[in-house]
Chain A
């Protein structure tokens, strides 16, 4: 039998709005923090040295062989995703925060990743308590005696557990991706079996997404300065179709020009590899330690709890 606690109906909006309000406040704080950190302090970084080789780039994770790093963090992420209890999930968050601290990665970028997740996680926190099936032993809050609107505390814990696991994995993405240049990471993935063409496409997409975005913004400005505002009518659809079509044509033409430029400089279907890969004892040691930590979390989750 479920443990039922009755509350007056007016407390229900409070219960929903309070966590939503908390999440909104957190999002606003994170955005402000991210924005403030983004504002340059009037001096351009020293671009004559690699950004990953300066004093923030000499960490254990930066020196870790990229193939070992990818495999280890992938396996560890699956281990975290398989956790069922809140406590080990929170421990996984702590481990991820530790990895972040060791790697000295950019807090702003981590915050931006969390911001991207916040909407999805917020929805889970609100929806799951009202939708999980009721099991015996569950604690259920009833508001104004309305049976179909029961708030299951187990659902809330489940949502928090999922959120903790998602945050733990998201926090690891920065130590995974920001501790080696993207071409090196993609070369590592290619060594692990990723088709080379996929790696090249990712690399070029990463380079040209800025150019295409810039072009799209300029074209959108070109429409706005002639009075275009998006409305819910057919003409808006027609205009947007023209915009997208022209953007596609321009992007296609640029693709051809970039390919010509690559061929003119000797491209024959392969990008040169960036750096050499050498798996050393310390790489294997670090990978083993990390996977052991994942195993320990699973053991704690499944055996002890």
Chain B
């Protein structure tokens, strides 16, 4: 196991905050989640815990927080085994942020929930409330203190859950996918909060670009074992290793004009689409909405004055901050919700009977694919919609095979959907819709919860589809790759309809709608530089002036010696052949020899 970071505990050193030795854990159903974990975590470290879905990350977090007991081995916190009574004592010091904030907000009001940790320790109501109010102020939710948690937006729920941890002033935060399903604006808010946290951070995320500025150390888990333990920069700079662990996100690298994009030599970077010409599709649009509005049953306005036309084979993205009305718009297009205004599909007004048949032409993959998987086998799942369509048994069989092949799930017919991985379930949901051959395919946040390998596979599948596409996403890379046109939604209306390229280069639009991707672009550019222009340590020989003293006689003479120094080298990309030129000797004075290393520029190889 390669390990470039080692954390030995010497006699004169402080013991690690967490010390894990020979840790194994097997779930009651026999699935071995972790085996042979040896790990030390020091106080103040910020660690990225990465790995493919099912690699054991969440199990490790649960063991670090004392929620699970080790099957074998030990988990020590501050030198003592993490079990009662030590565990009860240190519980407030270890905060766990779960992926779904609804799991964590069980209080009647936000304030009551945030105060829960303190009240559980026996702190009086009078003391707990001001502390909880302070914690809410840290996450800018003071004005929501008495709101029931179920009425918060997703981003607010995430911040409220974090406040519930901060109130006990923890020394360690264990975070499971802290930014999953957040829009870029909320993501930035969350990032700032985590950066300001003074203690130890252990963060699980598939989003290595998000982790780039947050973490200094990376632990890669693979099938329950630590595969790598290294500096975070080292992890992201080596594509081969990322790919080997299913973490290579480089396919989605999005670099700015200031970064490598302007460099024509930039190797193997993901090509950004050229500016699209003004789209002027011919023929009647497939979907038309005019002055369309929708109100929820409680009277809240979700859509207003929506005007929209989508032509056959167009690929359109819908973007907007959380709560802008994107999902409601999709629900109307697919006939789940009925708004007011003009709605034409294929030139015909969508009356009640037409709306009831819309599902034959419009397919939708939900953000959480668990919402549309309810059969006991993959084949049944695909056959469900085909049966409603009235397909014969032979035709169903043929369509099921085609759809499974399209999403690379051949041979999965008898598998149980519930037991598939996250990426497989997402592709199954897509296949169950594609089998029905929809004319309009709607995708709601297709990358949510996928690891980079799953994302890359999904991207390839979606790129090859010949179908009218409507994509709702916060993922600017997927939007760029898959669509030509972008609709920007804000507070229930479409405020902009423009070519995708124009959208992705318009910072004003991004900032206006909380969709600013500045942080991601900055991190991606930095990672890109690390990947393609990274450091080697080579032995070089230097001519050298050295002072020699022989008793009272001092003389200076020139000689050569070899030593290592930093050497920046730019790769043309993993798949392209390139040579590392060697310079056994090159001439350069080394005036600071006595002081150690001498960094200097090399000729471009």
Residues of A bordering B, CB below 8 Å? 35, 38-40, 46-51, 181-183, 203-204, 206-208, 210-211, 215, 218-219, 221-229, 235, 239, 242-243, 245-246, 249-250, 254, 257-258, 260-268, 272, 274-276
Contacts and interface: CB of A to CB of B under 8 A. Distances in A.
Contacts of A46: 143
A239 to B, nearest CB: 7
Contacts of A267: 116, 120
Contacts of A249: 418
B374 interface: yes
B125 A275 contact: yes
B40 interface: no
A272 B116 contact: yes
Q: What are the 9 A-B residue pairs with the smallest beta carbon separation, nearest first?
A: A227-B388, A39-B299, A272-B119, A222-B372, A266-B120, A226-B385, A47-B147, A257-B103, A218-B371
Given A207-B149, A242-B375, A265 B117 contact: yes
B497 interface: no
A262 B106 contact: yes
Given A183-B112, A222-B372, A261 B91 contact: no
Interface in B124-150: 125, 142-147, 149-150
B384 A265 contact: no
Given A225-B336, A246-B373, A265 B120 contact: yes
A250 to B, nearest CB: 6
B407 interface: no
Nearest to B67: A260
A206 B149 CA distance: 12
A40 B368 contact: no
Given A48-B144, A49-B145, A207-B149, 14 more contacts: A40-B298, A40-B300, A204-B106, A207-B108, A225-B336, A225-B363, A239-B374, A242-B375, A254-B102, A258-B104, A261-B104, A263-B67, A265-B116, A268-B88
A272 to B, nearest CB: 3
Contacts of A208: 102, 106
B331 interface: yes
A224 B150 contact: no
Nearest to A257: B103
B197 interface: no
A205 B164 CA distance: 21
Contacts of B94: 264
B65 interface: yes
Contact of A210 (B150, B335, B432): B150
B65 A264 contact: yes
B5 interface: no
A108 to B, nearest CB: 11
Interface in B364-402: 364, 366, 368, 370-376, 384-385, 387-389
A227 B116 contact: no
15 contacts: A38-B299, A46-B143, A47-B145, A47-B146, A215-B371, A219-B374, A243-B374, A249-B418, A254-B100, A260-B103, A261-B98, A264-B95, A265-B117, A267-B116, A275-B125
B298 A39 contact: yes
Contacts of B370: 246, 250
Interface in B194-231: none
A249 to B, nearest CB: 7
B371 A224 contact: no
Given A47-B147, A266-B92, A225 B334 contact: yes
B375 A257 contact: no
Contacts of A181: 108-109
A206 B125 CA distance: 22
B360 A227 contact: yes
B103 A254 contact: yes
A242 B147 contact: no
A226 B432 contact: yes
B536 interface: no
A260 B147 contact: no
Contacts of B388: 226-229
Given A38-B298, A219-B374, A274-B125, A258 B103 contact: yes
B176 to A, nearest CB: 10
Contacts of B331: 221
B371 A272 contact: no
A227 B299 contact: no
Contacts of A47: 110, 143-147
A221 B140 CA distance: 35
A199 to B, nearest CB: 12
Nearest to B164: A265
Interface string B58-102: 000010010100000000000000000000100110111010101
Nearest to B433: A226
A263 B389 CA distance: 48
Interface in B309-339: 331, 334-336
Chain A CB within 10 Å, residue with most, of B65, B102, B165, B376:
B102
A218 B143 CA distance: 30
B108 A221 contact: no
Given A203-B108, A261-B98, A226 B436 contact: yes
A261 B116 CA distance: 11
A47 B142 CA distance: 9
Contacts, number: 157
A222 B374 contact: yes
Nearest to A46: B143
Contacts of B96: 261, 264
Contact of A260 (B98, B109, B150, B168): B98
A266 B89 CA distance: 10
A91 B562 CA distance: 105
A261 B88 CA distance: 15
B121 interface: yes
A265 B280 CA distance: 57
Contacts of B385: 226-227
B573 interface: no
B190 interface: no
Contacts of A239: 374, 384
B107 interface: yes
Chain B CB within 10 Å, residue with most, of A227, A246, A265:
A265
Chain B CB within 10 Å, residue with most, of A246, A249, A250, A276:
A246
A46 B145 CA distance: 9
Nearest to A264: B96
Contact of A223 (B109, B147, B150, B374): B374
A208 B146 CA distance: 17
A217 to B, nearest CB: 9
B359 interface: yes
A207 B432 contact: no
Contacts of A263: 67
Contacts of B121: 266
A182 B371 contact: no
Contacts of B150: 207, 210-211
Given A50-B146, A227-B360, A183 B67 contact: no
Contacts of A275: 125
Nearest to B418: A249
Contacts of B300: 40
A120 B104 CA distance: 39
Contacts of A258: 103-104, 106
Contact of B145 (A48, A183, A254): A48
A142 to B, nearest CB: 47
Contact of A246 (B108, B120, B147, B374): B374
Contact of B359 (A50, A219, A226): A226
Nearest to B358: A225
A225 B360 CA distance: 8
A40 B334 CA distance: 27
B67 A221 contact: no
A207 B108 CA distance: 7
